[in-house]
A and B are shown apart, each in its own frame.
Chain A
């Protein structure tokens, strides 16, 4: 029977992983993610989850152990954050390029110095090109549901790629809300056992992955990863529809659009900021302002067509990024401009960098940003990116 429990975003991720029934968990603790792997250890220790729990000496080793386990054809899970993700970086490439469907929640947290444990998307943005599918969740139920959807997506024989579900530090990771959870039996129709069709380690049929392959092979192998992402692009709506049919919940596919149909200015953001934006839109709509909000739920594969379609009826975009690529712009703003330039509807895209290192970004701030978006729409140009709330 589905149960409703009150848990943090961290525990939502852990309960989802337990529901998915992984065979191996290899993990190292780091704030604010620790609660996830602590709970996994708890499940294994109590016998609720029959899995191998590998305690390792670093995140680099955690991912290495996950790679080994996944290469044996086992469902594999870990979690990390910030500096842990950075230390794991080399192994992220190995998991991606070896096509191993490891699933990992990443609790988005700022990088030091100075030490800062609060929300910032820079950590996961730095892993953009490692061959990992990236989802960004906005509430605890979505964290739970997305972990299950990701296992299904990543393990699909057309995809076979690792995936991360990103959740905002503290805003989600340490905030309790009610969520619905299931036993493994109740979701096994949606998420069947992992059966690797591409390769697996087997002493009776020895083979190796990652031996040297020169310029005559490497390019095609990279393109094969791109094809995996394109297959994921086709499957994401199908998997979400199947999830909706079975469990009655969906989270918007690639983009969770709110009152965008007749919106003149649309605010786009990721994670919890994307949900907060709905409040700003409600307030503006009450005053008769045609605003909308769109939460980017999937960052890789990037929803190019969906972003283009969203722009078709709007006059301007406002993009709020909780990350900054120093010397350029926020990550989402960069990608959205790139997507629009490839389309036919070139509306102004006003970029805001906000909320770095966990600084609060409230709906009132977003109202101000959307109002600036209307000015950009009138002028027909966005101008330089803005650093919202910067104290100088």
Chain B
């Protein structure tokens, strides 16, 4: 049984949440700083992928990070942990392409 199929406990004694994409909403909206990966410097060590607290980093076919700006909060932990200093920080207001608001992820119904 996958988590998504699991029934909530019958007794509503406490507040349980189940894993689902964006269960906290579009946290990308919270971002002040945007991480930008310099793919020429990136060695593909995947430390950023490991440290991202919001699982907003995936690894592409070349073994390099892709940051999901819909959910990246801009905490910059990825940049802090990048041994190659390949992740730069820019102000969200100065980003060339501001993130487009998208409809909320479908939430799990109780």
> Footprint of B on A, CB under 8 Å?
97-99, 157, 160, 197-199, 205-213, 217, 220-221, 224-225, 228
- Indicate if the CB atoms of B15 and A217 lie closer than 8 Å: yes
Residue among A97, A207, A212, A225 making CB contact with B18, cutoff 8 Å: A207
Q: Which residue of B lies closest to A210 (CB)?
A: B15
Q: Which residue of B lies closest to A157 (CB)?
A: B11
- Indicate if the CB atoms of B9 and A199 lie closer than 8 Å: yes
- Indicate if the CB atoms of A211 and B23 lie closer than 8 Å: yes
Other than the given A207-B6, A209-B14, 14 more pairs (CB < 8 A) read A98-B14, A99-B14, A160-B13, A199-B9, A199-B16, A207-B18, A207-B19, A208-B16, A208-B17, A208-B18, A208-B19, A209-B15, A209-B16, A220-B12
Tell me if B24 counts as interface (CB < 8 A to partner A). yes
Complex contacts, B11 vs chain A, CB 8 Å: 157, 197-198, 224
Tell me if B96 counts as interface (CB < 8 A to partner A). no
Q: How far is the CB of B100 from chain A (nearest CB, A)?
A: 25
Docked Cα-Cα span, A224 to B10, in Å, equals 13
Q: Which residue of B lies closest to A96 (CB)?
A: B14
Q: Which residue of A lies closest to B3 (CB)?
A: A206
Residue among B6, B9, B12, B17 making CB contact with A211, cutoff 8 Å: B17
Residue among A205, A213, A224 making CB contact with B13, cutoff 8 Å: A224
Chain B residues within 8 Å of chain A by Cβ, number: 15
Q: How far is the CB of A214 from chain B (nearest CB, A)?
A: 11
> Footprint of A on B, CB under 8 Å?
1, 3, 6, 9, 11-19, 23-24
Complex contacts, A197 vs chain B, CB 8 Å: 9, 11
| The 10 residue pairs across chains A and B that have the minimum distance between CB atoms | A211-B17, A99-B14, A213-B15, A198-B13, A208-B17, A99-B13, A224-B13, A206-B19, A198-B9, A206-B3
Complex contacts, A221 vs chain B, CB 8 Å: 12, 14-15
Task: Tell me if B's interface is mostly helix, strand, loop or mixed.
Answer: loop
For this complex, 19 residue pairs linking A to B, each with C-beta atoms less than 8 Å apart, are A99-B13, A99-B14, A160-B13, A198-B14, A205-B1, A207-B3, A207-B19, A208-B17, A208-B19, A209-B14, A209-B15, A209-B16, A209-B17, A211-B23, A217-B15, A220-B12, A224-B13, A224-B14, A228-B13
- Indicate if the CB atoms of B12 and A224 lie closer than 8 Å: yes
Docked Cα-Cα span, A197 to B15, in Å, equals 14
Q: How far is the CB of B85 from chain A (nearest CB, A)?
A: 34
Docked Cα-Cα span, A285 to B60, in Å, equals 87
Docked Cα-Cα span, A130 to B15, in Å, equals 16
Task: Tell me if A's interface is mostly helix, strand, loop or mixed.
Answer: loop
Complex contacts, A208 vs chain B, CB 8 Å: 16-19
A206-B18 in contact given A197-B9, A198-B9, A211-B24 (Cβ < 8 Å): yes
Docked Cα-Cα span, A206 to B55, in Å, equals 15
- Indicate if the CB atoms of B23 and A205 lie closer than 8 Å: no
Q: How far is the CB of B20 from chain A (nearest CB, A)?
A: 10
Residue among B1, B12, B13, B17 making CB contact with A207, cutoff 8 Å: B17
Q: How far is the CB of A158 from chain B (nearest CB, A)?
A: 8
Docked Cα-Cα span, A211 to B23, in Å, equals 9
- Indicate if the CB atoms of A212 and B24 lie closer than 8 Å: yes
- Indicate if the CB atoms of A97 and B17 lie closer than 8 Å: no
Most buried by B among A97, A160, A206, A225: A206
Docked Cα-Cα span, A211 to B14, in Å, equals 11
Complex contacts, B16 vs chain A, CB 8 Å: 199, 207-209
Docked Cα-Cα span, A207 to B9, in Å, equals 11
Q: How far is the CB of B54 from chain A (nearest CB, A)?
A: 14
Docked Cα-Cα span, A207 to B15, in Å, equals 10
Q: How far is the CB of A131 from chain B (nearest CB, A)?
A: 10
Q: Which residue of B lies closest to A217 (CB)?
A: B15
Complex contacts, A157 vs chain B, CB 8 Å: 11
Complex contacts, A207 vs chain B, CB 8 Å: 3, 6, 16-19
Complex contacts, A99 vs chain B, CB 8 Å: 13-14
Q: How far is the CB of A342 from chain B (nearest CB, A)?
A: 27
Q: How far is the CB of A135 from chain B (nearest CB, A)?
A: 22
Docked Cα-Cα span, A275 to B106, in Å, equals 60
Docked Cα-Cα span, A211 to B15, in Å, equals 7
Q: How far is the CB of B56 from chain A (nearest CB, A)?
A: 17
Q: How far is the CB of A278 from chain B (nearest CB, A)?
A: 39
Complex contacts, B13 vs chain A, CB 8 Å: 99, 160, 198-199, 224-225, 228
Docked Cα-Cα span, A212 to B27, in Å, equals 14
